[in-house]
Amino acid sequence: MADDPKKTGLDRKLISLSEPHEIQSWTRSLGCTAEELKEAVRAVGNSAEAVRAHLKKK
């Protein structure tokens, strides 16, 4: 996700944990907590598709 929260597109395929608004957006979108999101990114990388799959397994 870009630093500008209004930009979309390719950035929606990658999860960045560097900005609070990005974490908030991804936790809402994925239905998880910030800690679950961070753990998933550590486990499978920052691909949104891989993180979704990881979270569904739990």
CB 57 within 8 A of CB 26: no
Print the domain residue range for 26: 10-57
pLDDT of the residue at 30: 96
pLDDT of the residue at 10: 52
pLDDT tens, position by position, 13-49: 999 999 999 999 999 999 999 999 999 999 999 999 9
pLDDT band for position 58 (cuts 50, 70, 90): confident
Q: With respect to residue 34, please indicate whether it lies within any of the assigned structural domains.
A: yes
35 torsion bin: left (phi>0), alpha (psi -120 to 50), beta (else) = alpha
Q: With respect to residue 25, please indicate whether it lies within any of the assigned structural domains.
A: yes
Number of domains comprising the chain: 1
- Name the CA dihedral angle for 53, 15, 18, 30, rounded to a multiple of 10 degrees: -50
Q: With respect to residue 5, please indicate whether it lies within any of the assigned structural domains.
A: no
Q: With respect to residue 2, please indicate whether it lies within any of the assigned structural domains.
A: no
Q: With respect to residue 15, please indicate whether it lies within any of the assigned structural domains.
A: yes
Q: With respect to residue 3, please indicate whether it lies within any of the assigned structural domains.
A: no
Q: Does residue 52 have a pLDDT over 80?
A: yes
1-13 mean pLDDT: 59
